[in-house]
A and B are shown apart, each in its own frame.
Chain A
Amino acid sequence: MDKLPKWADVALIPLINLILALIVSGLVVALIGQDPFEALAIMVNGAVGSTYGWGYTLFYATNFIFTGLAVAIAFHARLFNIGGEGQAQLGSLGVALVCLMVPWPHWLIALPVAILGGGLFGAAWAAIPAYLQATRGSHIVITTIMFNFIASALLVYLLVSALKAPGMAPESARFVEGSHLPTAREVLGAIGIDFARTPMNVSFIVALLACWGLWLLLWRTRLGYEIRAFGHSDKAAVYAGINPVRITMITMLISGALAGLMAINAVMGEQERLLQDNVLGAGFVGIAVALMGRSHPVGVFIAAVLFGALYQGGAELEFETSIPREMIVVIQALVILFTGALDGMVRSPLEKAFLRFRRQPDKPGVPAE
Chain B
Amino acid sequence: MEEKIYACFLGCVIPNRYPGIELSTVKMLRELGVESVDMPGAGCCPAPGVFGSFDLKTWLALAARNICIAEELGCDIMTMCNGCYGSLQEADHLLKGDPLLKDKVNEILAPEMEYKGTINVKHQVEIFTDDIGIERIKEAITVPLDGLRVGVHYGCHFLKPSAVRGHGKAERPGMVDALVEVTGAKSVEYKDKMMCCGFGGGVRTRDLEVALDITREKITNMLDAGVDCTVNPCASCHLQFDRGQVEIGDIFGDVFNLPVLYYSQLLGLAMGYNPRELGMHKQNISTDPVLEKLEGLK
Asked if A and B bind, the verdict is no
